[in-house]
Amino acid sequence: MPDASSSSTGAGTQSGRRNADYAVLDFERPIMELERKIRELKQIPDVNLNGELKPLERKRDRLLEDIFGRLSPWQIVSVARHPDRPQFMEYVEGMCDEYVELHGDRLFGDDHAISTGFARIGDRRFLLVGQRKGRDVKEKLRCNFGCAHPEGYRKALAKMKLAARFGLPIVTMINTPGAYPGVGAEERGQAWAIAENIMEMSRLDVPVICIVIGEGGSGGALGIGVGDRVLMLEYAYYSVISPEGCAGILWHDGSRAKDAAEALRLTSRDLERLKVIDEVIKEPLGAAHRDPSAMIERLKETLVKNLDELSAMDPAERMAKRYERLRGLGNDVDALDPQPELPAGKAPAKAKSKKKK
């Protein structure tokens, strides 16, 4: 059941884009003010700008550092879902010298929520698998908002096996609210498709790198998320259930998603401590949506480094390490530090009727 939420809204975004070229999150408003002033200044021709502009820009950067340095887990979820956050296709365009998409699943039909193809960065060739959410309404519908059906997972597996035959490393990019919970998906064996992928990915004898770039929604994310190394962007999240779904089940109140986001420990920092992920990829100041090209460049560097390291390893040793990593998940982990206490007045007020016997 936790594997199912498909909600991708409610992250506190404001649809208006008056002053910026990106949508604005609630906690970004103070930054907006400064950015507006900077923009206005820049529009004034001539003038001795440096005197006024530089301090303003420094002030903005300090504010960005301050705000993004202490985002709450729920704010991080909203950054991960930010409408202008770079998505799979932007990474492909920004970092690959070639992408030859391969569509066919040979079973049911092409699922646009998952794209697969041969990719090249310089002389490094690999197979790329990426979850797509879509940008405009039409594309979002086509990609089913990033919620794949069984055929998407099966296409991914078929292409990964193809890659393994030719010794190509595999790179997957995860960004999904979850696998689609619908009638057709169930009829076509969503559980079986995901399970098969997870099992097969544990054994594919080529390097496998998985990168969580936005939402790591439960089983739908893990369906392309098993490999030698799991990397995660700083403000991505990865969770067993959506915060909304968790709040609904625990407290029968989906609006308490904020509390659930805190309890679930779904941030890159916590997941690195829990050894669920291997490396956090830092985002540019103010998160990926403020500077997509810097983000793409940084991801590319990290990916290339990891590809080279894994490719240089002895295959048998690499496979043994992967098995050890998977087999040990959750076994040798220290408990996280206790959650910071909720501010006064914020403590859960509604006592649940059914408990306390």
Q: How far is the CB of 183 from other proteins (least distance, A)?
A: 6
Listed as own residue / partner, the contacts of 309-314 with beta carbons closer than 8 Å and 24 or more positions apart are: 310/169, 310/207, 310/209, 310/228, 310/229, 311/169, 311/207, 313/207
Q: How far is the CB of 330 from other proteins (least distance, A)?
A: 4
Nearer to other proteins, 92 or 170 (CB): 170
Q: Give the 3-state secondary structure of residue 258.
A: helix
Outline where 166-226 has alpha helix (H).
183-187, 190-201, 218-222
Distance CA 321, CA 327 (A): 10
Q: How far is the CB of 321 from other proteins (least distance, A)?
A: 12
Nearer to other proteins, 77 or 241 (CB): 241
Q: How far is the CB of 129 from other proteins (least distance, A)?
A: 16
Distance CA 306, CA 316 (A): 17
Nearer to other proteins, 241 or 299 (CB): 241
Q: How far is the CB of 244 from other proteins (least distance, A)?
A: 11
Q: How far is the CB of 58 from other proteins (least distance, A)?
A: 38
Distance CA 117, CA 19 (A): 38
Residue 179 burial by Cβ neighbours in a 10 Å radius (0-12, 13-18, 19+): buried
Nearer to other proteins, 77 or 264 (CB): 264
Nearer to other proteins, 202 or 311 (CB): 202
Is there a contact between 226 and 326 (Cβ–Cβ < 8 Å)? yes
**Residue 253 DSSP label:** -
Strand 208-217, strand 170-176: pairing:
parallel
Distance CA 127, CA 110 (A): 17
Neighbours of 331 (CB within 10 A): 7
Binding residues for other proteins, rule: CB under 8 A, are 1-6, 179-183, 185-192, 194-196, 198-200, 202-203, 218-219, 222-223, 225-226, 238-241, 245-246, 249-251, 263-266, 271, 274, 276, 323, 326-331, 333-339, 347-348, 351-352, 355
Nearer to other proteins, 166 or 323 (CB): 323
Reported as type and span, the H/E element at residue 327 is: helix 315-327
Nearer to other proteins, 91 or 237 (CB): 237
Nearest to 1 by CA among 191, 267, 276: 191
Query: Amino acid identity of 59?
Result: K
Is there a contact between 109 and 76 (Cβ–Cβ < 8 Å)? no
Alpha-carbon separation of residue 300 from 85, 139, 230, 271 (angstroms):
16, 25, 15, 22
Q: How far is the CB of 115 from other proteins (least distance, A)?
A: 22
Nearer to other proteins, 56 or 240 (CB): 240
Nearer to other proteins, 126 or 153 (CB): 153
Q: How far is the CB of 295 from other proteins (least distance, A)?
A: 23
Is there a contact between 36 and 227 (Cβ–Cβ < 8 Å)? no
Q: How far is the CB of 357 from other proteins (least distance, A)?
A: 9
